[in-house]
C-alpha cells in the first residue's frame, strides 16, 4: 500500500530534550516536506527536500533540522524543543510539489 508513515503519532516531551520525528514513504518520491498545523494558522511549511542530500527552508524553519540521506526517509529533528513548538506535524511526499501525499500526523506537546 502506497503511504507516508510518521512516528511517533503522539509525543509529550519537556523543554530542551532533543527529539526526532521520523517520516518514511514507499512511493519512490523525490520531493518530501514537513508542515506544522496550528489553530488559526493553517498548514505552514517547515522544510522541504527536492531529492537526496538536497534540503531547503520553508516558511517556519527556526528550531528545526532535517536530513535526507535516503530517498524514502526525511526525519524532522528538534534539537532543543520549546513550548512554542507544540503543534501537529505532517510529513508529505510527492513526485512534484503539486501532487503531495500526507502522512497521518504527529501531535507533539512540549512542556
Contact call for residue 32 and other proteins (CB under 8 A): no
Contact present, 35 and 90 (Cβ < 8 Å): yes
d(CA 102, CA 94): 9
Of the listed pieces 21-29, 61-69, 79-87, 99-107, which binds other proteins according to CB under 8 A?
Answer: 99-107
Give residue 42's region: left, alpha or beta (phi > 0; psi -120 to 50).
left
- Is 101 an interacting residue with respect to other proteins (CB under 8 A)? yes
Does residue 88 sit in helix, strand or coil? strand
Closest distance to other proteins from the beta carbon of 56 (Å): 7
Query: Which residues, 37 to 96, sit near other proteins by CB under 8 A?
Result: 40-45, 48, 50, 56, 58-59, 90, 92, 96
Amino acid at each position: 500500500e502506497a503511504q507516508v508513515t510518521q512516528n511517533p503519532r503522539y509525543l509529550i516531551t519537556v523543554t530542551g530534550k532533543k527529539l526526532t520525528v521520523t517520516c518514511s514513504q514507499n512511493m519512490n518520491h523525490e520531493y518530501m516536506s514537513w508542515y506544522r498545523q496550528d489553530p488559526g494558522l493553517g498548514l505552514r511549511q517547515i522544510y522541504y527536500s527536492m531529492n537526496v542530500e538536497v534540503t531547503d527552508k520553508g516558511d517556519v524553519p527556526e528550531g528545526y533540522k532535517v536530513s535526507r540521506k535516503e530517498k524514502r526517509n526525511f526525519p524532522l529533528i528538534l534539537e532543543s524543543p520549546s513550548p512554542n513548538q507544540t503543534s501537529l506535524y505532517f510529513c508529505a511526499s510527492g513526485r512534484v510539489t503539486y501532487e503531495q501525499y500526507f502522512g497521518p500526523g504527529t501531535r507533539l506537546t512540549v512542556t
